[in-house]
Structure 1
Amino acid sequence: MSVIKRDGHRATYDRNKIVSAIQKANTEVDQEERISEEQIYNILASIENRGFDEMAVEDIQDIIEQKLMAEKKFVLAKTYIIYRLPIEYH
């Protein structure tokens, strides 16, 4: 899958960048607000299983935020927004 960056360039999808951003946000919140590694990989699966050849980075980030909020992890979702830049696919 390709990721369309904010500047319009395309980059190869790298799930590790997503995992890293979520994990960084996870470490910044209280234990009860965190999600498990399994939940992180379920979020990845929900992105990857859509079957798109390409996705905008903003759409990927929105999916992640929606999934975190669906888990009622509102503080984590807000904290994740701060870590969105690392998955810009520089």
Structure 2
Amino acid sequence: MEQAKPRPDLPDRLSIDPRSPHHVAAVFEHDVGIRFNGKEREDVEEYCISEGWIRVPAGKTVDRRGQPLMIKLKGKVEAFYKE
């Protein structure tokens, strides 16, 4: 049988953008889920558990470089590994 890789601890702040200083590639080798105010969200680009916010795209709006515009939502944030 194949041994599963040990999962690294989820950081307090994490971003899916590889250009961000808060991007941790080892975490993304596993499926990460975000629960925001009790509901699971699939569109989270960045989160911070201690400050209680997530960043999500603002619809289909993009900036001049083609990156989606982000809005910050505040509330209770929980990060977890999906099975």
Confirm or deny a common fold (TM above 0.5): no
Which structure has the bigger radius of gyration? 2
TM-score relative to the length of structure 1: 0.24
- Which structure has more relative contact order (CA 8 Å, sep 6+)? It is 1
Q: Which has the higher helix share?
A: 1
TM-score relative to the length of structure 2: 0.25
